[in-house]
Amino acid sequence: MKTIKLILFVIILIAQQAAAQRIKDIAYLNSDHTEQVIGYGLVVGLAGTGDSYRTQFTMQSITSMLKRFGITVPQTDVRTRNVAAVMVTASLQHNFKPGFKFDVIVSSLGDATSLLGGTLLMTPLSAINGEVYAMAQGPISIGGYDFNTYTGNRVAKNHALTGRVPLGGVLKENLPQNTVTNNELSIFLKMPDLTTSNNVALAINDKFGQNTAISVDAAEVKVKVPADRQSDVINFLAELESLPVQTDYVAKVILNERTGTVVAGNNVQIKPVSITHGSLNITIRNYPFVSQPGAFSSGTTAVVNNAIPYVQQDSTNTIAIQGASNVQEVASALNSLKVSPKDIIAIFQALKEAGALVAELVIM
């Protein structure tokens, strides 16, 4: 009997009676937001792996940069492969203050082959409104390599055209702030759910008094700052985001057919069902046969491949599930079939088609 290699079978146990989560872990306030910034820059110091002369915007950028230093070079004369044009991106939280340092992501824009060993020159980072909030500069870390030889051989690890500049960004201006207006604010759930939204409102009302919070929909909860807390809103918000709330989400089974990964939540259930599973393995082997013509004849040597198929039927397993009310019982029932994660994915899909799987099936 063949030994089945375990690829990966992951089950996340989200118990229904698990400890409650803080509001700050499942939601964010309307005053909390992230500003995405972007910039165009140049990476220098590459070992001949930068953009070629065919990337005209890189050549133009080099000549424009040199003009700032009083050096005039015709764009047609630029033939350097040690420079690459890149896009620089980052995400900034609203509570960052000027002088705060953060990581930036650098991605090649032209036809460079690697950013290994490069240094990002000073690059302004602007938001969607066009205002520059930060600057970025520094050596790039790509966490890999990509080397090519003149003979066509290549040795690579990870992706060499995207890297990170650790703490290479510096905030220069304050980001737009969404302050609490009219002593009201909203709480937005990261994973909208009606039950969780209602639980958040109930927890806030229990702590700060009735009619303090009201659930608007599955994603939003409106909160009024109590009159006795309006003089110290920050302290009120700190207590608010630390409140524990019982969460509840839709039962899901996530299937990743590329990696053979199965992730299921605790609310997943299987109705009474009978499962029969077996596999048919077909192997085709080639046995080359060479036909050699006689000496001094006009015939040619011919090679014929005799393809012979071999078929092997694995033993078929049948189990009857009387019903599984949680993920532990589901895992135990499917593991009794002694099949690989790839087969478990096929079984989950069949259970969903048969209406026996009480959960949303997500295939990646």
CATH number of domain containing 28? 3.90.1150
d(CA 132, CA 124): 6
Residue 66 phi, psi dihedral angles, 5° rounding: -65, -30
More confident residue, 12 or 360: 360
Q: Give the mean model confidence (pLDDT) for residues 184-202.
A: 90
Largest CA distance in the chain: 111
Q: Are residues 227 and 296 in the same domain?
A: no
Residue 100 pLDDT more than 50? yes
Q: Give the mean model confidence (pLDDT) for residues 223-238.
A: 88
Residue 183 pLDDT more than 90? no
Residue 230 pLDDT more than 80? yes
Greatest mean pLDDT among 57-61, 71-75, 334-338, 359-363 = 57-61
Residue 312 pLDDT more than 80? no
Q: What is the pLDDT confidence band of residue 149, given thresholds at 50, 70 and 90?
A: low
State whether residue 227 is helix, strand or coil: helix
Indicate the average pLDDT of the chain: 79
Contacts within 8 Å (CB) and 24+ apart, 297-304: none
Residue 268 pLDDT more than 50? yes
pLDDT of amino acid 13? 39
Q: Are residues 198 and 303 in the same domain?
A: no
Whole-model pTM: value is 0.64
Domain boundary among 222, 245, 268: 245
Q: Are residues 157 and 70 in the same domain?
A: yes
Residues 6+ apart with CB under 8 A from 154: 146, 147, 148
> Over the range 222-246, which residues count as b (16 or more CB within 10 Å of their CB) and which as e?
ebbbeeebeeebeebbeebbebebb
Residue 240 belongs to a domain: yes
| Residue 174 burial (10 A CB sphere; 0-12, 13-18, 19+) | exposed
Q: Check if the beta carbon of residue 327 is closer than 8 Å to that of residue 269.
A: no
Nearest to 277 by CA among 336, 221, 328: 336
Q: Are residues 197 and 310 in the same domain?
A: no
Q: Which residue range(s) make up the domain with 158?
A: 34-171
Placement of tokens 């015939």 in the chain: 299
What is the DSSP track for 4-61?
PP----------TTPPPEEHHHHEEETT--EEEEEEEEEEE--SS-S--TT-HHHHHH
State the total domains in the chain. Answer: 3
| Residue 131 burial (10 A CB sphere; 0-12, 13-18, 19+) | exposed
**In this structure, what token pair is assigned to residue 112?**
């460079």
